[in-house]
A and B are shown apart, each in its own frame.
Chain A
Amino acid sequence: MLSTLLSQIVNGLVLGSLIGLIALGYTMVYGIVQLINFAHGEIFMVGAYGGLAMFTYLLPTALKNHWYFALPILLIVGAAVSVLVAVAMERLAYRPLRGAPRLAPLITALGVSVALQEAVRVFYPNATAAVPFPTIFVPGTLIIPIGDGIPIKYSAILLVVVALALAYALNTFVERSRMGRAMRATAQDPDVARLMGVDPDRVIVLTFVLGGALAGVGGILYGGLYNTINIDMGFQNGIFAFTAAVLGGIGNIRGAVVGGLAIGLVKALGGQYLPGGTAYDYVWIFVVLIVVLVFRPQGFFGETERVRA
């Protein structure tokens, strides 16, 4: 009993770290441009496919078997692919719509999301079904000796460590650096930020770059953990991540991570203990989403009053 509970908690925290990593991109973009970047989940997916393509077709076989070579390369390539796509998306789809009525960019985001997913399905070999992903880290499972033993994959440990480290690094960057200050200023009052000499275009691009890089890394870690990727992974996890971002108070970096962990736990524990079992675990997340949006749209860590409506 106890070990079931504990291993579900472990599962929840692992998934939650991943969702939190994706949620950071949602929360930053919304904070800066007030756009629900619907396509952010696809940026995560594209990173995974980009990394896999590099691994499959470009990486010399000699390097494939040594995770300490392959892993950093994969992470960098995954992040790079995601960043490229995210920046192109901002430049081509969102930027021309600045100042347009709010529905327009949201619908554009939907279109980008569908197009990216379909582009991968059509152009990536055999992407119609799930594609196997290599084990990118020490294979195998660590068993924590409590009760009947709590299994945790090494790649899951990697995911949690990398995700939390990146979130910490991002938080430090935004709190301490000059560009980070410019980002916060733009989020609070874009006009005055411009008066301070902040170029809004640079800040927005930077936001998409950071969010894209985190999502790309997330895509690789996801592939390494589950050893399979599919084109739906972006949509599903993207919605979860959006839920996490709202839960944590959109625009709030720490909130996104905590929200991600909470969503992970809801899915793992809900699938274990709530009626309907794992078949309904997605449903609980959507229920949480609705309840939060209706009763506490500022999230659990958000300011009660946002600077701008």
Chain B
Amino acid sequence: MSFLEVRDLVVAYGAIQAVRGVTFSVEEGQVVSLIGSNGAGKTTTLRTVSGLLRPVSGEIVLDGTPIHALPAHKILGMGVAHSPEGRRLFARMTVEENLRLGAYTRDDEDGILSDMDRIFDMFPVLGERRRNKAGLFSGGEQQMLAIGRALMSRPKLLMLDEPSMGLSPIMTQKIFATVKELQSEGTTVLLVEQNALSALALSDHAYVIDLGRTTLSGTGRELLADPRVQEAYLGEGVAS
């Protein structure tokens, strides 16, 4: 039994089905990526796993418990944190307040403070500007804060939606390095990325989602080598 299992997921916005048969699983301690083009249904899938959307049909099982009928705050309580697409920080709140909201469900003040320090160690720039409003930060800094905020709930499974979106290559590298680091500390990571190359390079396992369906799966390495993936998602000249 995998840590997270998603089976035959169908999700619709009104009459429009955004996801029409997504199946994948995430083993504990792995980094798993969902890749695919814009509008393929990756974000919708994550939003459904975290409880923001209700599936029309299909199953989502976390550690043996079906969670697809639970509200978002219950799912968070079971150890799933979701850092949404576009970061969506609370722009009018300070870094500290954003992090405290990440720890909203916890009431161990000491633990919260030490976790906050840990995040400031990981991203020193956040520590320096802890009392500044999040809206004033650069894209990379915002992404760090978004990841930090998601980590504040001490998740077993961290879901990151497009963490590299709009970032410089250097910043992208830093974010992916952070993901690797988190994995080494024992966090399971589910990554949604359009930047397929970097995502696949770092993933233990990956799935291709196309038009709302999972079409291919394999290890990151296998998919990197697959001609179909290369053609569709990696562009020219990366096959070597």
Direct A–B contact in the complex, CB atoms closer than 8 angstroms: yes
User: Which residues of A line the B interface, CB within 8 A?
Assistant: 178, 181-182, 184-185, 188-189, 191-199, 303, 307
**Most chain B CB neighbours (cut-off 10 Å) among A188, A192, A195, A197:** A195
User: Per a CB cutoff under 8 Å, which of B73, B76, B100 touches A181?
Assistant: B100
A189 CA to B135 CA, complexed, in Å: 13
Contacts of B91 in A (CB 8 A): 188, 307
**Most chain A CB neighbours (cut-off 10 Å) among B51, B71, B88, B93:** B88
User: Per a CB cutoff under 8 Å, which of A185, A191, A197, A198 touches B52?
Assistant: A191
A185 CA to B134 CA, complexed, in Å: 13
Q: Closest CB of chain B to A144's CB: distance in Å?
A: 41
B84 touches A197 (CB 8 A): no
Closest partner residue, chain B, to A307 (CB atom): B91
Q: Top 6 nearest A-B pairs by Cβ distance?
A: A197-B105, A194-B72, A197-B76, A197-B73, A192-B88, A196-B101
Total contacts A to B, CB within 8 angstroms? 61
Closest partner residue, chain A, to B81 (CB atom): A195
Closest partner residue, chain A, to B83 (CB atom): A195
* Given A181-B97, A191-B52, also A198-B104 (CB < 8 A): yes
20 contacts between A and B (CB under 8 A): A178-B104, A181-B100, A182-B101, A185-B93, A188-B90, A188-B93, A191-B84, A192-B84, A194-B71, A195-B52, A195-B72, A195-B76, A196-B76, A196-B101, A196-B104, A196-B105, A197-B77, A199-B73, A303-B92, A307-B91
B136-154 to A contact mask, C-beta < 8 Å, 1/0: 0000000000000100010
Q: Closest CB of chain A to B42's CB: distance in Å?
A: 16
Is B102 close to A, CB under 8 A?
yes
Is B50 close to A, CB under 8 A?
yes
User: Per a CB cutoff under 8 Å, which of B50, B73, B90 touches A185?
Assistant: B90
User: Per a CB cutoff under 8 Å, which of B50, B92, B93, B100 touches A195?
Assistant: B50
Interface range on chain B (Cβ under 8 Å from partner): 20 to 34
User: Per a CB cutoff under 8 Å, which of B88, B102, B104, B149 touches A189?
Assistant: B88
Closest partner residue, chain A, to B100 (CB atom): A181
A184 touches B93 (CB 8 A): yes
Closest partner residue, chain B, to A198 (CB atom): B104
A197 CA to B202 CA, complexed, in Å: 29
A195 CA to B81 CA, complexed, in Å: 7
* Given A181-B100, A191-B52, A191-B84, also A197-B153 (CB < 8 A): yes
B54-73 to A contact mask, C-beta < 8 Å, 1/0: 00000000000000000111
A181 CA to B100 CA, complexed, in Å: 9
Is B82 close to A, CB under 8 A?
yes
Contacts of A193 in B (CB 8 A): 101
**Most chain B CB neighbours (cut-off 10 Å) among A194, A197, A303:** A197
B71 touches A199 (CB 8 A): yes
**CB proximity to A under 8 Å, residues B35-57:** 50-52
Contacts of B51 in A (CB 8 A): 194
**Most chain A CB neighbours (cut-off 10 Å) among B50, B72, B81, B91:** B72
A53 CA to B83 CA, complexed, in Å: 52
Q: Closest CB of chain A to B180's CB: distance in Å?
A: 23
Contacts of B82 in A (CB 8 A): 195
B104 touches A192 (CB 8 A): no
A303 CA to B77 CA, complexed, in Å: 34
A303 CA to B135 CA, complexed, in Å: 13
A96 CA to B63 CA, complexed, in Å: 33
Closest partner residue, chain B, to A182 (CB atom): B104
Contacts of B77 in A (CB 8 A): 197
A59 CA to B49 CA, complexed, in Å: 55
Q: Closest CB of chain A to B189's CB: distance in Å?
A: 16
Q: Closest CB of chain B to A138's CB: distance in Å?
A: 43
Contacts of A199 in B (CB 8 A): 71, 73
* Given A181-B97, A197-B104, A197-B105, also A188-B92 (CB < 8 A): yes
Known: A192-B84, A195-B72, A197-B153. 5 other contacts (CB 8 A): A181-B101, A185-B93, A188-B90, A195-B84, A303-B92
